[in-house]
Amino acid sequence: MMRSRWGLAVLMLIFFIPLAAVAEESETDAVYLETIEVTAPKDTTNRVTQTEIERKTATTLWEALRGVPGVYQTTSGARGESVILIRGSNRYQVGMYVDGVPTATAYRNEWDYNNSLTFDLESIEVSKGYSSPLLQSSNGLAGVINVKTRKPQKELEFKAKYMNFFDRHGDDQSRLFGASIGTRQEMFYLQAQVIHDEQDFFTLSDSFNAGRDERGDRRENSDYKNRRLNLVGGVTPTDDIDIMFGIVKQQFEKGQPPDASRSGTNRFWRWPEYDTDRYYMNADLRVNPQAKFQVVAYYDEHTDKSVDYTDATYSAIAANSRDQTYEQYTAGGQVKFEYEFNSANILGTSVGYRRLSHKDKRYRTTTGNATTGSRSNWGLNEEDVEDYYDVGAEYTFQPISPLTLVLGASYTRLEPVTADTYQRGALVGLRDKSDIRQDMFNYQVGAFYDVTTDHQMFFTFAKKSRPATMRERYWRTGDAPANPDIDPEEALHFELGYRGMPNKWLKLNASAYYSMYDDKIASTRDANNNTIFDNIDKADIYGLELGAEAFVTSWMSVGATASFMDWDTDTDTRSMENLTDAPKVVGNIYAEVMPTERLSIVPEVYMTSDFYNSANPDAANKKSAGFAVFNLKAAYDISKNITVEAGVKNLLDQDYYYNYYFPEAGRTYFVGLSADF
């Protein structure tokens, strides 16, 4: 079955290619792509626009990033979170930002990408390996994702969206509503946005085989409720000043679907709180035509609470409960300065500070009552605070007219402030904090050669490093000590690429990369079989990424992406030989057909080869099968302001997994209504 679905995808591509070939023969009907701006800032960033988000019917950030070359998706079964990987990385090696504000959790440097909703975003930027040193530099060993909030552009504007999703039986399973109202005046702008995304359940594929804790049909414990309020205000006293203030209040509660296999140990957890409060300022200040500042200040607070139940009825708290509450925040700021000596010489610098704070509070197992004020009987279990100091510089210049060089460097200092664990009423303190400070120096170079105005070649090199997360540095089980001396991971990234327009209707990009990871951090076992984190291995990861976009005629466009990856590991621990959740081949093909001016039909397919569930090549169930998922939608513009849409996801009702035996939804229907004034 898998082979036939890949074959169908190939047939789709074969069908589209001849259509593209006739585009030159119908010049009168052709619609041309926007030209590549070779004068734009030189980088290798992939940008996902709101138009692409709408085409994918992506309601979450996780869905919006599907199909981006080099981006891989998985789920964390143990915590029920959706995860983004970049070029074989793990979840801790990817930096996550919203409007330049680091938003990943302080303790683990991770994020549930389904927690981030895409309604009315401006764009999503993805940098892989090579990324600006003017960001907080130690937060993106493998890459960086930066989400940009849309600002109002008109004197009065309003946008609303409603989506309803139904399972393969036609039963109502989830719905989303979003509304935004804003205004832009001569000296200020305001915007308020509210989103409510709620799921009662999702239904598995009809071909799913029941497991021990999963009967099939409606997925157990798969409900969630996600509500977000986003307020944006800005002052623009002149054309050279834009000071934006943002407030995000988000409440997210969810169930955690259990392992659906017939064996294994399950967690029966729910998350009554997975909340975020964010307050930030992002200011752009141009001093004169050559000089400008950007100032970012933020306080990002995250609380998540898990409750551990005895069984799949979720009716009684477990006697030996693992209930816990994480209270954590990231606070800090950054100042960037850019000076343009002339069009061929630009200097950028940055300085930044951030504090990461984490408190782990455990709950009494006998009565379920919290004892947060006590250091015994499952009260305050762990408290960690760390400070980061960042300095970055980037210089762009042109030694000859078609060649642009970008040199960058950054320095980060990590200073632990508090690292205390409370075990059975006793305070377990670490030794002198000055002994475990860490200094990291990174550097990079990018060369961009404009062959013509329509063709560009580039080569980049970046040396990156990542300190261990708080969890990796201070984790304790049994009698195993914490490992605060764990070294930072390091990576050397090389990339050679091309982007251009062989014709006005065809846009291509291609890149080959080689990444060398050293001192990779992974969980392992000590002599007493306790879980610890340590620097245990090296890995070389290499691959090829391709992308194409074409307007075939005035009524049809097509696109495709493909990512090919492989790796070599150098480790004394056989159980760490494989990269997990990283398919060697990932692909995406789509088309947009407009039989009339107002009607568009979008078929698409996402393909993934098989991948390892376990890094140990000797493990049982070490691999998950590859899959191809087909989606189809149609959208109709009732007027220039109102659009209706309907479609189906997982058209063939494929039974598939991103994480071993945590199955995804079967065939799902949807309808939607959007208004934009």
pLDDT, tens digit (0-9, with 9 covering 90-100), for 516-552: 999 888 777 767 777 777 787 788 999 999 999 998 8
Whether the pLDDT of residue 470 is over 50: the answer is yes
Query: Residue 72: is its pLDDT beyond 80?
Result: yes
**What residue has token string 């960086």?**
144
pLDDT at 159 over 60: yes
For 463-503, the DSSP string reads EEEEPPPHHHHH---TTPPP-TTPPPEEEEEEEEEEEEEEE
Q: Please tell me the predicted confidence (pLDDT) of residue 431.
A: 53
> What residue type is 382 in one-letter code?
E
Give one DSSP letter per residue of 399-463, joined into a string. Answer: EETTEEEEEEEEEEEEEEEEEEEEETTEEEE-S-GGGG-EEEEEEEEEEEEEEETTEEEEEEEEE
Q: Which two tokens stand for residue 322?
A: 């693992």
| Residue 507 confidence (pLDDT) above 70 | yes
Instruction: Name the band, by pLDDT with cuts 50, 70 and 90, for residue 621.
Output: low
Q: Answer yes or no: are the C-beta atoms of 38 and 457 closer than 8 Å.
A: no
Mean pLDDT is lowest, of 382-386, 564-568, 614-618, 668-672, for: 614-618
- Does pLDDT of 138 surpass 80? no
- Coil, strand or helix: which one is 378? coil
- Dihedral, CA atoms, 524, 527, 528, 533, nearest 10 degrees? -30
Terminal CA-CA length for the chain? 46
Residue 296, token pair as written in the block: 């970012």
pLDDT of 2 over the 50 cut: no
Poorest-pLDDT segment among 12-16, 438-442, 471-475, 508-512: 12-16
What integer pLDDT is reported at residue 36 of this predicted model? 55
Is it the case that residue 31 has pLDDT exceeding 80?
Answer: no
CA 54, 56, 61, 67 torsion-angle sign: negative
- How far apart CA 77 and CA 86 sit, in angstroms, is 19
pLDDT digits (tens, 9 = 90+) for 385-424: 999 999 999 999 999 989 999 999 999 999 988 888 776 5
Position 482 pLDDT exceeds 80 = no
With bands split at pLDDT 50, 70 and 90, how would you rate the model's confidence at 214? confident
Q: What does the pLDDT average to over 449-469?
A: 92
pLDDT for 319 equals 65
Q: Place 6 in a pLDDT band, splitting at 50, 70 and 90.
A: very low
Judged on CB neighbours under 10 Å (0-12, 13-18, 19+), 18 is exposed
- How confident is the model at residue 577, as a pLDDT? 75
* pLDDT attached to residue 24: 41
Residues 6+ apart with CB under 8 A from 407: 394, 395, 396, 444, 445
Name 306's Cβ contacts closer than 8 Å, sequence gap at least 6: 269, 270, 271, 322, 323, 324, 325
* Among the ranges given (238-242, 271-275, 571-575), the one the predictor scored with the smallest mean pLDDT: 571-575
Does residue 617 carry a pLDDT above 90? no
> What is the band of 41 on the pLDDT scale with cuts at 50, 70, 90?
low
Per-residue pLDDT reduced to its tens digit, 588-600: 999 999 999 999 9
Percentage of residues of the chain with pLDDT beyond 70: 85
Q: Is the pLDDT of residue 472 over 90?
A: no
Given a cut of 60, is residue 367 above it in pLDDT?
Answer: no
User: What pLDDT is stored for residue 521 in this prediction?
Assistant: 83
**Quick one: pLDDT at residue 478?**
61
- Return the pLDDT at 370: 40
Residue 52 has pLDDT above 80, yes or no: yes
Residue 18 clears pLDDT 80, i.e. is over it:
no
Q: Does 218 have pLDDT greater than 80?
A: yes
pLDDT at residue number 544: 96
Report the predicted TM-score, pTM, of the whole model to 2 decimal places.
0.88
pLDDT at position 176, please?
95
Structure confidence at residue 381 (pLDDT)? 78
pLDDT at 377 over 80: no
The pLDDT-based confidence of 237 (bands split at 50, 70, 90) is very high
Q: What is the pLDDT of residue 355?
A: 94
**Measured CA distances, 180 to 99, 191, 199, 292 (Å):** 18, 7, 22, 31
The rounded mean pLDDT for the chain is 84
Higher pLDDT residue, 316 or 565? 565
Query: CA nearest 76: which of 68, 85, 63, 67?
Result: 85
Q: Is the pLDDT of residue 64 over 50?
A: yes
Which is nearest to 107 in space by CA: 326, 407, 279? 326
CA–CA separation, 421 and 441 (whole Å)? 30
What is the average pLDDT across 484-508? Answer: 90
Pairwise CA distance, residues 173 & 559, whole Å: 31
Residue 193's pLDDT is 95
pLDDT digits (tens, 9 = 90+) for 110-128: 788 888 899 888 899 999 9
Helices (H) and strands (E) in the chain, counts: 4, 32
Q: What are phi and psi of 656, to 5 degrees?
A: -145, 165
Least-confidence region, from 77-81, 171-175, 439-443? 77-81
In angstroms, the CA 215 to CA 210 distance is: 5
Looking at the predicted structure, is the pLDDT value of residue 368 above 70?
no
Q: Measured between alpha carbons, how far is 545 from 88 in angstroms, rounded to an integer?
A: 13
Give me the mean pLDDT over the 103-108 stretch.
83
Q: Tokens at residue 556, please?
A: 């049809």
